[in-house]
């Protein structure tokens, strides 16, 4: 069976993209794949925006004429720049120990970084961090603020301003 978009039949499933519950009745994306732990097929559920951001190739296989154009654009950007699907959230580095996956330099404590994850065995696993300012070179685009906002609830206007500056500074 192919992937699906349908209203959530219960409020129990958690989104594989953001970890939050998917409310009953909300449209959700279901990725169908062979069950990695046994027989048959498994379905992995996502909020639509989370699926567009994190499983763009699968998401774009489902015809959805009523699709919010912003959501479709995020999926198309993810198809063009495959590493965008790795974006989990923005955060301030709690220590200076982690190194950037792109430039290999340390990420200073307190500075903005992007937490990355990779999809394997039907779940996302942590795969390290990059400097916010390395985004353009790492992803191939610095147009990532909408997904940063989506996956990092609670960013203040000041936070978003700092992040936008770091993304802009990386474009030269
Ligand atoms: Zn989600
Ligand atoms: Zn870097």
Alpha carbon distance 88, 94 (integer Å): 16
Query: How would DSSP label each residue in 72-127?
Result: HHHHHHHHHSGGGGGEEEEEE-SSS-PBBTTT--B--TTSEEEEEEEEETTEEEEE
Q: Average pLDDT of each block of 10 consecutive residues along the chain (172 residues)?
A: 92 95 96 87 96 97 86 96 98 97 98 97 94 97 96 96 85 41
Q: What 3-state class would DSSP assign to 124?
A: strand
| Domain end marker among 23, 47, 80 | 80
- Smallest-distance ligand from the CA of 48: 1
70 and 114 belong to one structural domain: no
Pair of tokens at residue 33? 């794949």
CATH number at residue 101: 3.30.1740.10
Q: What 3-state class would DSSP assign to 10?
A: coil
Domain that holds residue 145: 82-169
Ligand 2 center from residue 65 Cα (angstroms): 39
Torsion of CA 160, 52, 66, 9, to 10 degrees: -110
Per-chain residues with Cβ under 5 A from ion ligand 2: 100, 102-103, 131, 134
Task: Look at residue 172 in the predicted model and tell me its pLDDT.
Answer: 42
Q: Which of 73, 70, 58 is nearest to 119 (CA)?
A: 58
Pair of tokens at residue 4? 């699906």
91 and 157 belong to one structural domain: yes
- Smallest-distance ligand from the CA of 46: 1
Helices (H), 21-134: 48-54, 56-59, 69-80
Ligand 2 center from residue 134 Cα (angstroms): 5
Ligand 2 center from residue 10 Cα (angstroms): 42
Task: Return phi, psi of residue 59, to 5°.
Answer: -60, -40
Task: Look at residue 58 in the predicted model and tell me its pLDDT.
Answer: 96
71 and 90 belong to one structural domain: no
Ligand 1 center from residue 131 Cα (angstroms): 24
How many structural domains compose the chain? 2
| Domain end marker among 33, 62, 80 | 80
Beta bridge partners, 118, equal: 125
| Domain end marker among 80, 113, 146 | 80
16 and 33 belong to one structural domain: yes
Ligand 1 center from residue 46 Cα (angstroms): 5
Task: Look at residue 37 in the predicted model and tell me its pLDDT.
Answer: 78
Handedness of CA 54, 57, 61, 66 (dihedral sign): positive
Ligand 1 center from residue 161 Cα (angstroms): 24
75 and 86 belong to one structural domain: no
Task: Look at residue 132 in the predicted model and tell me its pLDDT.
Answer: 97
pTM across the whole model: 0.92
Question: Any idea what DSSP says for residue 98?
Answer: P
């Amino acid at each position: 069976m192919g992937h699906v978009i349908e209203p959530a039949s219960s409020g129990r499933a958690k989104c594989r993209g953001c970890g939050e519950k998917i409310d009953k009745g909300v449209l959700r994306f279901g990725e169908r794949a062979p069950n990695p732990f046994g027989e048959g097929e498994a379905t992995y559920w996502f909020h639509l925006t989370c699926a567009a951001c994190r499983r763009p190739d699968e998401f774009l296989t489902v015809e959805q004429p009523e699709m919010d154009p912003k959501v479709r654009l995020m999926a198309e950007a993810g198809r063009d720049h495959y590493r965008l699907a790795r974006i989990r959230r923005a955060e301030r580095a709690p220590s200076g120990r982690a190194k950037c996956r792109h430039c290999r330099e340390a990420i200073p404590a307190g500075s903005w970084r992007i937490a990355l994850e990779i999809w394997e065995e039907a779940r996302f696993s942590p795969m390290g961090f990059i400097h916010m300012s390395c985004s353009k070179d790492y992803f191939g685009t610095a147009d990532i603020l909408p997904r940063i906002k989506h996956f990092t609830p609670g960013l203040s206007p000041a936070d978003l301003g700092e992040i936008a500056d770091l993304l802009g500074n990386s474009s030269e």
